[in-house]
């Protein structure tokens, strides 16, 4: 086989792409895994990796879950604390432990597992400039002039996916897209080390501010909001985060001795509240490229990993007949939405209902503190 010819070409080696590559490891297929960055690389994120990620890894290979459990540095997340605009708190425990892991570390861990296979060719530090497919092959043009061909292409290239734009014809819909900013801090007062803190703040709704504890007394701090609102109200997210930390007394008190470890950075979140066609002739889209982020929580790591796994399993099914037609690959769309759509739909309603309704947020937080309701909430979250 020619060195630029593959069975599967995966573009993007984040959680979606690396999980897809891992799930293809035992198939014997020749896989190219391409990323424009060199690992370890940062990804702007809240760094909260839910327990679902461990379930997905376990389903692929229990050794992977064990490896993540032994992986450091990370914090073990057992609780969430929600704050209403008057700082009334709702605390609930997760039935399964999740983690906060800097994405630079988590993605590198996953990528290292993905390339630990002789059938994988990892291509880093090279951008994909163009993609196309026809009835016989997928063609990928790299910025360094190389042209790769494959039987099928998997677009795992994130929120600004070239594959989604060129092949999926997906355009940003700001009603189903969020923007968020992040800043790492050290020494935030009162960090529990085991609880995700989410604040609904007066003057900063609809949207939420978060403090997520990392290892070594560090924290991932951020603020996010729906893109249509950002545009409509001309909101500057970086300024909002700065103002929250420096002007709200309850928050400011916790940051008095804290040290910002970086400038504020932002990135987009394509939400799963709108259904798209996420496959076609000889291609599939996974993770952010397929718009699979939870519209309420903003979590997209687990859905990226799950969709990457589903894409790999679809490829293994279609390979014996070399049938990567749009019709054959549509089973992938059906599987993704069968698994994720009801959650996306319900969480979209929650996002809409709570949007700007301070009284309702207060009420829900109060009701959530009633014993049996609290126990029910705990069961809702993994
Ligand atoms: C501020 C913020 C906070 C968030 N917080 C959380 C959270 O706490 N928990 C959670 O679960 N989710 C969170 N998310 C969502 C989460 O970050 C994404 O859903 C997740 O990263 C999706 O993984 P992915 O593999 O699809 O894409 P990515 O992680 O974005 O990976 C895409 C990869 O493709 C590569 N790439 C892109 N274009 C090209 C190209 N042309 N050529 C080659 N390579 C390319 C990139 O370099 C990158 O490595 C947050 C997002 C934001 C913006």
- Summarised one tens digit per residue, pLDDT across range 325-369 is 999 999 999 999 999 999 999 999 888 887 767 777 777 777 776
Q: What number is the average pLDDT over the span 174-180?
A: 96
For the cut 90, the answer to whether the pLDDT of residue 192 exceeds it is no
The CA-atom distances, in angstroms, between 363 and each of 16, 195, 210, 352, 379 are 37, 22, 20, 16, 20
Identify the CA nearest to 109 among candidates 168, 47, 164, 59: 47
- What is the spatial distance between Cα 285 and Cα 263, in angstroms, rounded to a whole number? 32
Q: Which candidate, 309, 265, 316, places its Cα nearest to that of 287?
A: 309
How far CA 183 is from CA of 71, 177, 208, 313, in Å, comes to 23, 21, 14, 37
Residues within 6 Å of ligand 1 by CB: 11-17, 34-37, 43-48, 127-128, 156-158, 162, 180, 182, 222, 224, 267, 269, 287-289, 293, 298-301, 304
Instruction: Give residue 272 CA to ligand 1 midpoint distance, Å.
Output: 14
Tell which one of 48, 146, 158 to mutate to probe ligand 1, the residue whose CB is within 8 A of the most ligand atoms: 158
Enumerate the H helices of the chain as residue ranges.
Answer: 15-23, 51-60, 62-70, 103-114, 162-166, 227-232, 237-247, 249-255, 301-318, 326-354, 358-368, 371-380
- pLDDT, position 1: 56
User: Could you give all domains of the chain from N- to C-terminal order, each with its CATH number?
Assistant: 5-42+104-172+272-352 (3.50.50.60)
Q: What pLDDT does 351 receive?
A: 83
**From CA 144, how far away is CA 281, in angstroms rounded?**
26
The pLDDT assigned to 377 comes to 61
Rg (CA), the chain: 21
Sign of CA dihedral 84, 86, 87, 91: negative
pLDDT of 232 > 70? The answer is yes
pLDDT band at 256 (very low <50, low <70, confident <90, very high): very high
Tell me what the pLDDT averaged over the chain comes to.
Answer: 94
Q: What's the pLDDT at 376?
A: 61
67-80: average pLDDT: 93
Which residue's CA is the nearest one to ligand 1's atom 27? 158
79-125 pLDDT tens trace: 999 999 999 999 889 889 999 999 999 999 999 999 998 899 999 99
The Cα–Cα gap between 21 and 114 comes to 6
Over range 246-251, report the average pLDDT. 96
The residues, ordered by sequence, that sit 6+ positions from 66 with a Cβ below 8 Å of its Cβ are none
203 pLDDT above the threshold of 90:
no
CB 137 within 8 A of CB 282: yes
Task: Tell whether the model's pLDDT for residue 373 goes beyond 70.
Answer: no
């Amino acid at each position: 086989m020619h060195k630029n010819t593959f069975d599967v070409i995966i573009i993007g080696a984040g959680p979606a792409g690396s999980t897809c590559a891992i799930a293809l490891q035992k198939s014997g297929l020749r896989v190219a895994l391409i990323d424009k960055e060199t690992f370890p690389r940062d990804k702007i994120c809240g760094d909260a990796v839910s327990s679902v990620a461990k379930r997905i890894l376990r389903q692929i290979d229990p050794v992977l879950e064990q490896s993540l459990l032994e992986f450091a540095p990370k914090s073990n997340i057992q609780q969430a604390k929600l704050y209403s605009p008057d700082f009334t708190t709702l605390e609930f425990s997760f039935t399964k432990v999740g983690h906060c892991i800097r994405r630079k570390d988590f993605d590198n861990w996953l990528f290292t597992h993905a390339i630990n296979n002789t059938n994988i060719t990892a291509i880093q530090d090279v951008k994909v400039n163009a993609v196309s497919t026809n009835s016989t092959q997928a063609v990928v043009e790299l910025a360094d002039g190389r042209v790769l061909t494959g039987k099928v292409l998997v677009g795992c290239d994130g929120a600004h996916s070239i594959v989604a734009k060129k092949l999926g014809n997906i355009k940003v819909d700001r009603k189903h897209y969020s923007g968020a900013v992040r800043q790492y801090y050290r020494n935030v007062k009162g960090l529990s080390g085991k609880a995700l803190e989410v604040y609904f703040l007066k003057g900063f709704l609809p949207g939420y501010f978060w403090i997520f504890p990392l290892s070594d007394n560090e924290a991932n701090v951020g603020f996010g909001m729906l893109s249509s609102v950002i545009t409509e109200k001309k909101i500057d997210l970086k300024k909002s985060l700065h103002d929250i930390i420096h002007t709200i007394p309850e928050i400011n008190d916790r940051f008095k001795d804290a040290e910002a470890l970086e400038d504020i950075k932002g990135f987009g979140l394509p939400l799963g509240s709108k259904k798209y066609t996420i496959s076609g002739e000889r291609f599939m889209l996974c993770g952010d490229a397929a718009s699979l982020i939870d519209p309420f929580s903003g979590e997209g790591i687990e859905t990226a990993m799950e969709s990457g796994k589903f894409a790999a399993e679809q490829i293994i099914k279609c390979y014996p007949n070399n049938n990567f037609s749009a019709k054959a690959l549509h089973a992938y769309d059906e599987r993704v939405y069968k698994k994720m759509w009801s959650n996306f739909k319900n969480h979209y309603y929650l996002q809409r209902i709570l949007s700007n309704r301070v009284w309702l947020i207060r009420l829900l937080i109060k009701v959530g503190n009633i014993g049996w309701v609290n126990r029910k909430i705990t069961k809702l979250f993994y």
